[in-house]
A and B are shown apart, each in its own frame.
Chain A
Amino acid sequence: MIQLVPRSGNAPLWQIATPVLAVLATMLVGGLIFGLMGYDPVAAIRTIFWDPLFGPASGYSRPQLLVKAAPLILIASGLAIGFRAGIWNIGAEGQYIIGAITGAAVALALYPLEAWWLFPLMVAAGMAGGWAWGMIPALLRNWFGASEILVSLMLVYVAQRVAAWMAFGPMRNPQGMGFPGSRNLQQYPSAANPELIAGTGAHWGVVAAAFAVLATWLLMSRHIRGFHIRAAGTAPRAARFAGVNPATLVAFCLGLSGALAGAAGLFEVAGPAGQITDRIGVGYGFTAIIVAFLGRLHPVGILLAGLLLALTYIGGELAQLTMGLPAATVQVFQGMLLFFLLGFDLLTRFQIRRRITA
């Protein structure tokens, strides 16, 4: 009989070993599938994991990892704080969309004004939009006890429809030949979020993601609120006795994660995406939940997990391009990677012991 015993304290070796084991297991099973489908398994694995970093076109794909990972890391950093406190914001996708819309709205309203303060104002508006969208589930939980998981998820659907409405209606580009979608902010200098240093991929969203990792790490390890959050997550009742106001914590966590998701949306719409369309939400908000868990809700872990997922996206495209691997096969491979990472995570939290039963 096999028994799981929770580990006491951290298990640093397992913390590092489990993700490595999970990736290896994915390579093994994935390679098997690729082989069965008639593709060279070694080449496929190399294309996905190695080529984006060190392959022939890695000069381009390496910076692109940052572009792809930045929104995931930015959103996941905020989510993880709430998750640690047992506050489940799963509506970051909606907060991302609303942040993109409110941020872009500022630029579209002021077009074609050029001013240095426009972009900072857009960032503020994006964060405010995401924050406000996140505060809805917070307040509904605090006032009426409504589950923030479900309210925040429902608000994703609402946000998606708001985006469609904006793209077809109020925000439609008047010079867009009747096509849906707003003006392209990349072509509006004061509102654009371009590459800061050519060839690095780094736009303001990448800078913000790095900052978010650092700030959330400081918050969780050095600040009294970080202590409250951890306390609320592990021992809610004790935390209440210690003077932690649960309502404040709910508002703080949902507001913060909403604001960060909103910022991610704004950086994306002003930069890589360029315009508000009905498909502005491409799932970063949901993928970030996976990133938060793969990163064990720890800022450094989230950084690595975000980069790993970005790697599989870009490597997956390369595999399509160079080997003709179908997109669906790449998606299956990614799904497997997530399963293995989530499953193997058990080893960091529990010890497996064999128990002899009579």
Chain B
Amino acid sequence: MMIDPLSVFLVLLGAATPILFAALGELVAERAGVLNLGVEGMMITGALAGFAAAYASGNPFLGFATAAVAGAAISLLFAALTQVFLSNQVASGLALTLFGLGLAAMLGKPFEGVRAPVMPAGPLRINWIVWLGLVMVPAIWWFLNRTRRGLILRAVGENHDAAHALGYNVRLTRLAAIAFGGAMAGIGGAFISIATVLQWTEGMTAGAGWIALAIVVFSNWTAPGVLAGAWLFGGVTVLQLRLQAAGVAVPVQLLSMAPYLATIIVLVAMSARQKFSRRAGGAAPGSLGTNFHALR
């Protein structure tokens, strides 16, 4: 049996794009110390808003821009809860997912059963948004590691008390990171509705947001790691479907478990390396999931 690796890769590029965008956004939020479990809610919001705009205007790119705005807008609910009202991030994120899924389903009724405009193919016949996702990887890496603002963002995520003491605005930094995460999740969701399915249907993200959360852990909180993770998680699905199509019997459930187990192994290995070598950095951001309240 022969499977052409290049064709698998080309399929994988598209299949991994929604989770790549969502995971890159969540990466930035988590690097700022925010664990937002509302990715699924933000993705579905983007999927609807993007589709609606693309359908109404006939311009898919306007759809993606709208999706980014909508994703960021709904993420601000989470931002308000966690940064202003100091609610627990895990609970707030779960509430955001619930709310987003309901809101999109409620507002999406008029857009059922219609088609999105077809996107013009980009360079090498690969979708423009796929290219954008690939460009975002080095861009986010550059931002986090080579810019002053990226450094501040990481400082806020590593130790918010210290960052505050140094005079950085913890809350504003996190607010921006959350909104960026929302925008990226929105684009990821819109890729499903505009580029993959060309239609709006309730619940169409079907758990992609949860996979994005796993990818961030797998990535060990680095942008290239996110790309690797998106390709691994997307790749396992693409490959198992491809093997099935080629007539090979595959244990689907066991195989689909593998990337999650790999994620746990990576997390444990990185944590252990940090613990035993006393090497600074490397695993989860120090303040991940905790709220910050300045007394003064």
Contact = CB atoms under 8 A, between A and B. Distances in A.
Q: How large is the interface on B (under 10, 10 to 19, 20 to 34, 35 or more residues)?
A: 35 or more
A338 interface: yes
A73 to B, nearest CB: 16
A332 B98 CA distance: 8
A14 interface: no
Interface in A75-131: 88, 90
B86 A349 contact: yes
B225 interface: no
A146 B217 CA distance: 11
A162 B260 CA distance: 12
B4 to A, nearest CB: 28
A280 to B, nearest CB: 14
Interface in A248-306: 286-287, 289-290, 292-294
Contacts of A332: 99, 102-103, 106
Interface string B242-267: 00000000000110110011011001
A75 B122 CA distance: 50
Given A290-B91, A346-B85, A144 B272 contact: yes
A11 interface: no
B36 interface: no
Contacts of A328: 102-103, 105-106, 202
A342 B88 contact: yes
A95 B132 CA distance: 39
A158 interface: yes
Contacts of A211: none
A335 B102 contact: yes
B87 interface: yes
A338 B81 CA distance: 11
B107 to A, nearest CB: 9
Contacts of B283: 145-147
A154 B217 CA distance: 9
Interface string A135-165: 0000010011111011101110110011011
B274 A145 contact: yes
B90 interface: yes
Contacts of A143: 272
A343 interface: yes
A140 B267 CA distance: 10
B271 interface: yes
Given A339-B77, A343-B85, A165 B267 contact: no
B274 A150 contact: no
B241 to A, nearest CB: 16
A312 to B, nearest CB: 11
Greatest chain A CB density within 10 A among B95, B99, B267, B283 is at B95
Given A145-B274, A150-B284, A165-B253, A158 B102 contact: no
A147 B267 contact: yes
B28 interface: no
A335 B95 contact: yes
A329 interface: yes
Contacts of B185: none
The 8 closest A-B pairs by CB, nearest first: A335-B99, A331-B102, A328-B105, A165-B253, A338-B95, A144-B272, A145-B275, A332-B102
Interface of A: 4, 6, 88, 90, 140, 143-147, 149-151, 153-155, 157-158, 161-162, 164-165, 168-169, 286-287, 289-290, 292-294, 326-336, 338-339, 342-346, 349-350
23 contacts: A6-B293, A88-B289, A90-B37, A144-B268, A144-B269, A146-B267, A146-B271, A147-B267, A147-B271, A150-B217, A151-B264, A151-B268, A154-B267, A165-B254, A289-B94, A332-B99, A332-B102, A335-B98, A335-B102, A342-B81, A342-B85, A342-B92, A346-B85
